[in-house]
Structure 1
Amino acid sequence: MSEHWSGPRYGKTIKVENGLKARSKRGDIGATWWSRRFIEVLESFGMGGRLTRGRNYARQGQVLSLSLSTSMVIALVQGSRPTPYKARIAIKSFTNPEWQRIEHALAGKALYAAKLLAGEMPADIETLFASLGLQLFPASSREMTMDCSCPDWEVPCKHLAATCYLLAESFDNDPFEILAWRGRGREDLLERLRTLRGTARAVAAREEAPPLTRCLDTFWQRQTASSLNLGDPTAVVRVDAVLDQLNAVPITVRRSNVVDLLRPAYLALRPGEQG
């Protein structure tokens, strides 16, 4: 008597309408260095061959939803069963003391916050983390946990792999998501950086100002233009000079720049010309 497989049989993948689709239609997925770095890290763990299984899923829009919170990414991925599979990718978040060190280091570099706000991950941010004895991206597979509700025992399965690719593209859109995945959301991190930078500026101002006991003799003296470094007090300043200090204003009225249209009005305010 021949043996027959009595387990469940699954048909073709159920196609999804309006699913989350990867923007990349061919080749590698990831438009920025930090999203490509994330994929490279996963490949370095020996996942490269298995990752490619989910690339078509990511491009076909089989992922129904993707949510990222502190330390956890959860996706619903439509496979061959009617019920979508739940794919989860967890990462070890930094501790509060570690984040305090990171925040002080970031606050000390105004360019870092400016680049993050502009949607760009600073090119040398991994060096900053390394100087603190930390790594922004996982250093080993032990720092990550992947699981899926599908019956495939391989990790990552194609559902997890599709989630990884869409996660990389979400990093393209917002580099703050990498930091949120490690334990600090955008608003919390920015508020902390603003506080730290404000405190640093206040300390610097106190250090620059001389103590009152050292300037009692001159504190009440009338300040002159030269002592205030205001330039030559007899110099004539054009009333329309303020217009020349403006950055280029991309506003035109009947093909004329708005600054050129305002200049006659300022010139009309010259002494002796007021009505």
Structure 2
Amino acid sequence: MADSRRVQMDNVIYANFGNKKRVSTPEDRTQVINKSAEKQFSPAGKRTVALTEKNADSGRRSRGEQYYRNGNVTGLKVLDGRVQCTVAGSQNEPFITTVTFPYRSSEKLREAYAVIADTANGLRLVREGHLTSSMLDHLVGNLDESIYFDCTCPDHSLVCKHAVASAYYVAEKMTANPALILDIRGQGMAGLEALIRSYHTRIEETPEDNESFWEGKTIPDLPDPKIAPAIDDSDINFLHKALRLVSYTSLEQLRAVSDIEDMYEILVSNHPDNRRVFEEPDDADEDY
């Protein structure tokens, strides 16, 4: 007769190993699965999770997400086109999960970088992690593709719970470091910037036809430099040091600095953005 105190889930029996939080009802399980929507991943991270969970059953999705939330994924190593994650499981030795992204040939990757180069502010979007749908299709994978996993655990399913946990962990790292997807593709941010510079150079050397000349493309955003008062934002000691070279006495140096500060204040106050509007008093024509 089986021990009624033992609880059996799937092919694992839990007995006297401490309290374990279980998902006992379909409603509880759905709630656990839907927590993934609350996680604020970057577009690349969300696409990575989506291409993973499409091939995982609900049980492995929920357990894998719980593994991720519990910090069971302890390491990440970037390889060519794939990532290796170290996941602490139920055994003494951690499992190694290999996350392989959809294959991209050199030609396909060049197409991806051309898409980035042709997109207004494309390099900035990549640098900040705001990839467009087309960029995601090229760099991460389109929605018809899948991310493949190989795990050292005994579960031979397409996507085990360690794979789900690894996908979440990779998504987190992609959100913190948008250049990670470029590292996975063997390019890196610095390499992408160099490629785009050379791409634009080739485009500039190619004569435009009449249609492209008149239609043009979307103009990138203008830079938004920080505006700060020159004297207030700089080190006044350098001004003293410079005037010390052309002043006979310390008193002349101090007066020169003071005069420059006064002139600066006058210029700033007369600037259109700072000019004060003085109104004539009502009794301006009275005799004093």
TM-score bracket for the superposition, by shorter chain length: 0.5 to 0.7
Aligned to 1:155: 158
Cα 1:247–1:147 change in 2 (3 A) is closer
**Partner of residue 216, structure 2:** none
Unmatched 5+ stretches in structure 2: 1-12, 19-33, 209-224, 234-257, 267-288
Partner of 1:264: 262
**d(CA) in 1 for partners of 2:95, 2:189:** 29
CA separation of 1:263 and 1:97: change in aligned 2, threshold 3 A: farther
Write the mapping of 1:233-272 to structure 2, written as runs, cut at 5 A: 247-249=226-228, 264=262
* Structure 2 CA distance for partners of 1:159 and 1:247, relative to 1, 3 Å: closer
1:55 to 65, 77, 90: 65
User: What secondary structure, in the 3-state scheme, does the structure 2 residue paired with 1:82 have?
Assistant: coil
Q: Does 1:164 align with 2:167?
A: yes
Preserved contact between residue 89 and residue 146 of structure 1 (Cα < 8 Å):
yes
Contact 1:92 1:182 in 2 (8 A): no
Query: Shift in Å at residue 50 of structure 1?
Result: 1.8
Q: Which structure: greater helix fraction?
A: 2
The one-letter amino acid of 1:174's match is N
- Calculate the TM-score normalised by the size of structure 2: 0.56
User: Contact between 1:45 and 1:140, CA under 8 Å: does it hold in 2?
Assistant: no
Single out whichever of 27-36 and 50-59 deviates more from structure 2.
Answer: 27-36
TM-score if structure 1 supplies the norm length? 0.58
Report if aligned partners of 2:81, 2:100 keep a CA contact under 8 Å in 1: yes
Number of residue pairs matched by the alignment: 199
SS of alignment partner, residue 27 of structure 1: helix
Q: Tell me which residue corresponds to 1:137.
A: 141
Aligned to 1:214: none
Tell me which residue corresponds to 1:114: 124
Aligned to 2:104, the other structure's residue is in SS state coil
Matched, 1:126 2:126: no
Secondary structure of the corresponding residue to residue 126 of structure 2: helix
Q: Please, which runs of 5 or more residues in structure 1 have no aligned partner?
A: 1-8, 14-25, 206-245, 255-260, 269-275
Q: Note the alpha carbon deviations across 1:27-83, whole angstroms, 9 max, x for none.
A: 223433432233223233344542221122112221221122321110111112221
RMSD: 4.0
The separation in 2 between residues aligned to 1:250 and 1:38, in whole angstroms, is 46
Give the aligned residue type for 2:89: G
Match in the other structure for 2:219: none
Deviations 1:187-238 (A, max 9, x none): 2222211221234345579xxxxxxxxxxxxxxxxxxxxxxxxxxxxxxxxx
How far off its partner does 1:153 sit? 2.4
Say whether the 8 Å CA contact 2:83–2:100 is kept in structure 1: yes
